[in-house]
Structure 1
Amino acid sequence: MTPVRPFLVIGAGLAGSSMAFELARRGHPVTVLDAAPRPAAGASGNPAGIFMPVPERRPSPREALYLEAFRWLGRLLDGPLSGVPHRRCGVIQLPRDARQAERFADILATRSDLYPLVEAGADLLPAAARTHPHADTALHFPQAGWLSPAELCRHLLAGPGIETRFNQRVTGLERGGDHHWIVHCDDGSSLRAREVVLACGPDCAALPQAAALPWHRVRGQITRIRLLGIGTAGKVLTGAGYLIPLDSDEALVGATYRRDRCDTAPDPDEDEENLSQLARLLPDLHGRPEVIGSRAGLRSVLPGRLPVCGPLPGTDRAGLWITAAHASRGLLTAPWCARCLADAMEGKTGTDALDRLLQPGRFSPEPAAD
């Protein structure tokens, strides 16, 4: 009979890698299983992604989540994750429409408490964006930037105390004796663990213990282009789509958002969609950028577009946890949720407002009144 491991994480994308890293750095040995032959094989394998706060007109639990997550990622990049390729080059966010422009103007006028996380960005826009219809209310996040999710996952899993097992798809979970879980894999093997974390993105929905959550799969495609001399001063632009300058003449643009497809084959039509979004960001862009590559991936999303982080509800599910549905903000939320979940697994008290915001039980029906 296999030994009972203390901690087992299912998934080696952003959520699972972050969870394994957080447990291991607290001294807990952890085993990571993934169906793919390498880490970050899904949507977490993109070559670059944006990290930035998400300010709102008025303080809210959602804003607090993103601000705390942004600050936490910054501390990690200043410390144990300093070797991960990243650039804090600043992010300029252009409003998508008049309604968002009004909201951005209010943020600039009333949210001085966010300084220096956000400031006016109109004067920093590249020439090709200055005729954008809402350029005067652009926000600049000077401490934000981009990093490589794929490299982040590899770095997170490389530390001591983490055992990785690839090409092992989990097919089922069952409660074992002596307060542990039995994890069954498609190669016929089984592992036992006292605590199990589901962090396998869209594949969480295939496991009965998590199937009741209202999952959606979303396909996103990014497009790699040559910049053709667009002067961005190295800053990321976002709004209707985004532009991430990677080096002197290449950039990533994206991303599509499709609920009607569950494959990951790159589609030239979605490249065209990304280029159309780029033209909205840069109204004075001359010429068609050369497409030199593309990549598509699937993400899990839940109503409200917030992740789930916490114990799976049910009296028979002690020791079964989940961190998933990080969608397009996983660079921020996955490391932060890993910290919160590790605290909970160690019996530490969390923040009530954030716990309520992210708990898996928030989708359960309210009990009927007596």
Structure 2
Amino acid sequence: LHFKPATADSVENRFNLYAWLYASRFYRDPALPAEAWSPCGVMQVAPDARLQKRLSKLVQSDLYDPEILQVLDAEQASHLAGTDIEHSAAYFPAAGWLNPKALCAWYARHPGISVRCNSRVLQVEALTEGWQLQVQGPTEQTLLQCRHVILCNALDVHTFGQARHIPVIGNRGQVDSYRGAASASNGPVICGQGYLIPPRADGVQCIGGSFFVTDSKDQQAAASALHLQQLAAISAPLAAAFTHRYPSEQRRASRCTVADRMPVCGLLSGSAGTEGGLWVNVAHGSQGLARTPVCATLLDSHINRTPSPLEACVQEVLAAERFSTV
């Protein structure tokens, strides 16, 4: 759970900061299982002169309280991490790591949520009052009717003609899991170009998160090697703990984003004439865990006509209408 702090105020930075603050509070639900969320803090190490200069600008900007962001020298970072960190770092004490699979499974248990597996929505059609979904299940097709529909299927949003104009981009990435903790670090998440998550209760550690333009099985080994190279730039001892080990699992997928790197969240143009709406919530890139809670609340406020969690100028930079064709 992280965000990239800017050195100057802007609408985009206000959204990223508020989304992260909202998410860090949202995940503090005491009922959330321990395997889903660990507020252990996140340390973003600056391994080169350019990033170290950026850290200095963050301090000078005076935009962030110490409860949000602290700048540490190498000695302070090493003490906090419990291992040798060779550079200065930004530390986010309220951040941490999440297990998306455990998180989604827990939320899906809500009595108001019905889960349909092995099913595909083939078509979304406007009715006089609401929408009709044509759904292909394991053995038969069914029709579902509802007042509101939210498209939140990332790159597959183009499956539906109403959203085909949204210029989503896929960035391939990989996360490696190592079973049997090799790292003694039980401190914060440590990241730079990539990241290392502290051992979970089951002894699994994750290293990520590479970016590739194309999808090729030949890139699996290259991505794992890149992860260790990025980790070595942060801390040689941490990288050495994984050098002669092989991942127990390698998970690869595409991050969904758009050119301006802001989410697409709001009403799809042309759907407001029905009694209900067709909404979209996609393009969160590598920051989905930080951005989706406030974006979901934003859609809820529109649908139920309650006060919005975001100021009007921020809503404008998220709106799906920014890609509408005339």
If the length of structure 2 is used for normalisation, what is the TM-score?
A: 0.86
Compare relative contact order (CA 8 Å, sep 6+) and give the higher one, 1 or 2.
1
CA shift for structure 1 position 211: 0.9
Q: Does 1:149 pair with 2:107?
A: no
Q: Identity over the aligned pairs, expressed in percent?
A: 27
Q: Does 1:312 pair with 2:268?
A: yes
Per the alignment, in what secondary structure is the counterpart of residue 162 of structure 1?
A: coil
Corresponding letter in the other structure for 1:286: A
1:218–1:259 CA contact under 8 A, matched in 2: yes
2:271–2:278 CA contact under 8 A, matched in 1: no
1:197–1:320 CA contact under 8 A, matched in 2: yes
Q: Does 1:212 pair with 2:162?
A: no
Q: Distance in 2 between matches of 1:196 and 1:264?
A: 36
Hey, what does 1:358 align to over in structure 2? Answer: 318
**One of 246, 259, 264 as aligned partner of 1:303:** 259
CA shift for structure 1 position 240: 1.2
CA shift for structure 1 position 78: 2.7
**One of 213, 217, 226 as aligned partner of 1:259:** 213
Hey, what does 1:336 align to over in structure 2? Answer: 294
Structure 2: any 5+ residue segments left out of the alignment? none
**Mean Cα displacement is larger for which, 53-62 or 210-219?**
53-62
* Gap change, CA 1:283 and 1:114, over 3 Å in 2: same
Hey, what does 1:39 align to over in structure 2? Answer: none
Hey, what does 1:67 align to over in structure 2? Answer: 17
Corresponding letter in the other structure for 1:243: L
Q: Distance in 2 between matches of 1:118 and 1:104?
A: 11
Corresponding letter in the other structure for 1:257: F
Hey, what does 1:56 align to over in structure 2? Answer: 6
Q: Does 1:281 pair with 2:234?
A: yes
Q: Distance in 1 between matches of 2:102 and 2:186?
A: 24
* Gap change, CA 1:250 and 1:53, over 3 Å in 2: same
Q: Distance in 1 between matches of 2:183 and 2:234?
A: 12
* Gap change, CA 1:228 and 1:280, over 3 Å in 2: farther
Corresponding letter in the other structure for 1:69: A
Corresponding letter in the other structure for 2:235: L
2:85–2:234 CA contact under 8 A, matched in 1: no
CA shift for structure 1 position 92: 0.8
Corresponding letter in the other structure for 2:318: L
2:261–2:285 CA contact under 8 A, matched in 1: yes
Per the alignment, in what secondary structure is the counterpart of residue 303 of structure 1?
A: coil
1:108–1:120 CA contact under 8 A, matched in 2: yes
Structure 1: any 5+ residue segments left out of the alignment? 1-50
* Gap change, CA 1:112 and 1:329, over 3 Å in 2: closer
**One of 148, 155, 162 as aligned partner of 2:113:** 162
Aligned-CA RMSD value: 2.5
If the length of structure 1 is used for normalisation, what is the TM-score?
A: 0.76
Matches within 5 A, 1:1-370: 51-79=1-29, 82-83=32-33, 85-95=36-46, 97-111=48-62, 113-122=64-73, 123-125=76-78, 126=81, 129-131=84-86, 135-136=87-88, 138-177=89-128, 179-187=129-137, 188-225=141-178, 230-247=183-200, 250-261=204-215, 267-284=220-237, 285-286=239-240, 288-291=243-246, 292-314=248-270, 318=274, 319-350=277-308, 351-364=311-324
* Gap change, CA 1:279 and 1:203, over 3 Å in 2: same
